[in-house]
Amino acid sequence: MWEEARDCPPVEVVRVDELIRAEALAGRPRAADAAPSFEDVFTREFPRVARTIHHIVGDRARAEEVTQDAFLELLRHWRTVAGYDRPDLWVRRVAIRKAQRERHRAWRRVELERSIVGDEAVEPPTPAPEVLAAVRRLAPKQRAVVVLFYFEDRPMTEIAEVLGCSESTGWSQLHTARRHLAQALAEEVPDDVR
Amino acid sequence: MSVDDRLRAAFGETDRSWDEQVPDTLAVVTARRRQESAVRRGAAAALVAAAAVATVAVTVSQRGDSSPTPSENPTTPATTSATAPAEVPASLVGTWLSRPITHADVRRAARAAGTPDKADLMLAGLPATPFRVVLVFNGDRHETLQYVRSGGDDELFDQENVEMRADHLVLSPQFAEGENVHTWVVEDGVLRMDFVSSTEPEDQAVTAEAWQRLFYDTAAFTQER
């Protein structure tokens, strides 16, 4: 799927390069030559980040908006972020924070939740909608940990990096989420995460 | 079946339709960025023009002469967007902790921003007072993470890119448009910031100025070791 997605119109490649070159000419440092281009990162990561955000917010249109904004942010700061070891984690962190931002300054949490996952929300495809529905009833941090752990299959070190928390906090959120989900789905919850 | 198995099964389907959107969305993102750059360049040009007009006007008035001549020591207008962002100063890098922020501090910040009627909205979106604000300035990443410490937990509250422009600290939220400008000083291990301006749009009817004043200006910060 990455190979298919790489078939972007060449004209846009030129435009991205022009944008970055124009800003480099303004006196800002460029990323190391060995670093991947913005287009490379976008092509590889946009669908992945979009799928993850779709699972977190539960609505396709909102996931598209949030993911697009996160990549715009990446382009704005590309010269700096290109020098990082993991630009892919940086853009995930921005996207997840954007998705959750209302909650951090939210005074109408219930109303927001209802507006995010309304009747017309287009949810991700799944063979088990009742499981994803239970995931979406989790607290936002728990939901993000669950999606990154079970959907993206990321190690807790990376999840902690993305969510800006310690690994122990990440594990704690995951265990709490599993207990809640087990209760909601009437399933057993083994001590060890599998 | 365990809860882990059910979760992995539920997340097992990959929505390939996102891959098809890559070319179009890349075009949209680059177009948005190009538009931003054009607007920024236009604003910079306007600033330069305004500064040039002001310089001429000052020269004319000082000379008391109706025939303006170029100044012998022309100065470069202090445009903000045409210059490279300076490094985050070493004295700022690290973790900073505020004193406990109270209910009254929230009301004071709302009042200082000219929106005293928004204090209740702000309080409703905050943890129970008192709480402390923790700022983590990362020099390598040119960013600051802003946590709220309440009941022993640190909750990540905001995340902003940091630039230095002249003696001003410019914070650009990673989750919103616009930027926020503060003056700052570190003396004897104490960081003090003072709000200057904001172009960040209001968030759920509360202005960015009110939030910025609350989180950055309400209290001085001591460096956490």
* Residue of chain B whose alpha carbon sits nearest to that of A183: B3
Asked whether this complex has an ipTM greater than 0.85, the answer is: no
CB of B204 within 8 A of CB of A107?
A: yes
| Nearest residue in B to A90, CA atom | B141
Crossing angle of helices B22-63/A60-76, nearest 10°? 50
Among residues A188, A85, A134, which one has the least CA distance to residue B141? A85
3 state SS of B54: helix
Identify the DSSP state of B119.
H
Rounded Cα distance, A66 and B161, in Å: 18
Break chain B into its structural domains and give their ranges. 1-77, 94-224
| Cα A32–chain centre separation | 25
Mapped to the 3 state alphabet, what secondary structure does B125-184 carry?
CCCCCCEEEEEEEECCCCEEEEEEEECCEEEEEEEEEEEEECCEEEEEECCCCCCEEEEE
Do B28 and A68 count as a contact with CB atoms less than 8 A apart? Answer: yes
Q: How confident is the model at residue B139 (pLDDT cuts 50, 70, 90)?
A: confident
What would the mean pLDDT of B35-64 be, rounded to a whole number? 57
- B111 φ/ψ sector (left φ>0, alpha ψ -120 to 50, else beta): alpha
pLDDT at residue B40 tops 50? yes
In this predicted model, which residue has the larger pLDDT, B42 or A180?
Answer: A180
The first and second tokens of residue B87, run together, are 């490094």
**Nearest by CB to B156, which of A126, A146, A164?**
A164
What value, to the nearest 5°, has the Cα angle with vertex B220 and ends B216 and B225?
105
Q: Tell me how far apart the alpha carbons of residues A35 and A88 are, in angstroms, rounded to a whole number.
A: 12
Model's pTM, two decimal places?
A: 0.55
- When pLDDT is cut at 50, 70 and 90, the band that residue B34 belongs to is confident
B171 forms beta bridges with B162, B180
Distance from CA of A57 to the nearest CA of B (A): 14
Residue of B nearest to A80 (CA): B141
pLDDT bracket for residue A19 (50, 70, 90): low
Which residues from chain A sit within 8 angstroms of residue B19, using beta carbons? Answer: 1-2, 4-5, 47
Nearest to A43 among B5, B22, B124 (CB): B22
CA distances from A44 to A36, A39, A140, A169, B18 (A): 11, 8, 26, 29, 11
- Spell B139-148 as b/e; 16+ CB within 10 A means b: eebbbbbbbb
3-state class of B207 per DSSP? coil
Is a pLDDT exceeding 90 seen at residue A150? yes
Nearest residue of chain B to residue A46 (CA atoms): B22
Where do the domains of chain A lie, and which CATH numbers do they carry? 1-125 (no CATH), 127-194 (1.10.10.10)
Class of domain B94-224: mainly beta
Per residue in A104-116, pLDDT (tens digit) is 443 333 343 444 4
Q: Which long-range contacts (CB under 8 A, 24 or more apart) does B122-126 make?
A: B122/B206, B122/B210, B122/B211, B122/B214, B124/A107, B125/A104, B125/A105, B125/A106, B125/A107, B125/B204, B125/B206
Q: How far is B77 from chain A (nearest CA, A)?
A: 16
- CB-CB: which of B14, B121, B157 is closest to A51? B14
Task: Give dist(CA B120, CA A76) in Å, integer.
Answer: 34
A163 at B interface, C-beta within 8 A:
yes
Angstrom distance (rounded) from CA B5 to CA A131:
11
Per-residue pLDDT tens digits for A23-64:
444 333 334 456 688 999 999 999 999 999 999 988 898 899
Pick from A125-139, A148-162, B31-45, B196-210: least confident:
B31-45
The residue ranking higher by pLDDT, B143 or A143, is A143
Does residue B106 surpass a pLDDT of 80?
A: yes
What DSSP assignment string belongs to B55-112?
HHHHHHHHHT-SS----SS------SSSSPPBPPPTTT-EEEEEPPB-HHHHHHHHHH
DSSP state of B218: S
- Cα A33 to Cα A56: distance, rounded to the nearest angstrom: 35
In the predicted structure, residue B92 carries a pLDDT above the cut 70: yes
Q: Report the length, in residues, of chain A.
A: 194
pLDDT of A174 over the 70 cut = yes
What would the pLDDT profile of B163-181 be if each residue is shown by its tens digit?
888 889 999 877 667 889 9
pLDDT band at B7 (very low <50, low <70, confident <90, very high): very high
**What does the pLDDT read at residue B180?**
93
Smallest CA–CA distance, residue A119 to chain B, in Å, is 21
B19 secondary structure, DSSP code:
H
Q: Answer whether A185 touches B (CB < 8 Å).
A: yes
